[in-house]
A and B are shown apart, each in its own frame.
Chain A
Amino acid sequence: MTRPTKIEVNCTTGVQSVIELTDEEIAQREADAAAFAEQKAAEEAAAEALASLKASARAKLVAGQPLTEEEAATLVI
């Protein structure tokens, strides 16, 4: 399997080189991708929870029902 490569520019000499990634660099990329996927899932879950709270708060307002503290916090700063 072909190793991924990167381009490196030496700003002092101006030399540009295409270099194969090392095992460590490949492992770091994979770890970062996994960490990012986890973070993104957490963000999406939080956004979904907030949207759900807001929808619930809105519906209760319209219906004249009391809001929970969490629901009120989405409407009032």
Chain B
Amino acid sequence: MPNTMKLISSVTLSSAQASMDFTSIPSTYTDLKLLASMRVTDGGEGTTPPLSRCELIINGVTTGTSYNVNMLYGIPGAVPSVLAAGGLNSSRNFYSGSADSSNATAGVFSNVSYLIQNYANSSLPKAILIDDVIENMAKTCMCDIRGGSWNSTSAITSLSLRPYNLGNFAQYTTAYLYGIVKS
């Protein structure tokens, strides 16, 4: 990793869990980078691709209007699509990263990168960039990029990742939280 990225905390699941929560995040960095490799224990949303959508909850806030995201995604054999998903209504449908479901090839986990800029700022909303690959070692995989924001001026002090459909993250799912300094 570049020397401007400092590992804050990491977690590797030794058993299935409903969520991975990073709390009391120090405010001493400029940006945050969260790298997650995820798989869930249930069948998720089907087989093409074999994924379970996840959500990133910031500061425990579950209000839909606090989040906004647009997603560009591609599946082999299909035309790339743009999806405006989530936020700006009372239902929080914030498609923030995906995990491989139990329908994916055994031992395969998703690869998701979250970049949260200016997280400790207490006067501006926070921009979020998400890169996501649902690998399956087969044609039924997916990749997407998502741009969004957390529409709150509060500094970010906690991040929580969890599957959307009542599933659990599987054993060996990991998440690494890095702080990015200017130099």
User: Taking beta carbons and an 8 Å cutoff, which residues of A are in contact with B?
Assistant: 4-14, 16, 18, 21, 28-30, 32-33, 35-40, 43
Contact = CB atoms under 8 A, between A and B. Distances in A.
Given A4-B168, A11-B177, A36-B93, A29 B18 contact: yes
Given A35-B91, A43-B83, A6 B21 contact: yes
Contacts, number: 73
A11 B166 contact: no
B17 interface: yes
Nearest to B177: A11
Interface in B48-73: 53, 55, 62
Interface of B: 8-11, 13, 17-26, 45, 53, 55, 62, 83, 85, 91-93, 160, 162, 164-166, 168, 177
Residue of A6, A9, A18, A40 contacting most chain B CB atoms (<10 Å): A9
A30 B166 CA distance: 7
A14 B25 CA distance: 10
Given A6-B160, A11-B9, 5 more contacts: A6-B17, A9-B9, A10-B24, A33-B164, A38-B91
Contacts of B93: 35-36, 39
A12 B164 CA distance: 28
Contacts of B11: 7, 9, 16
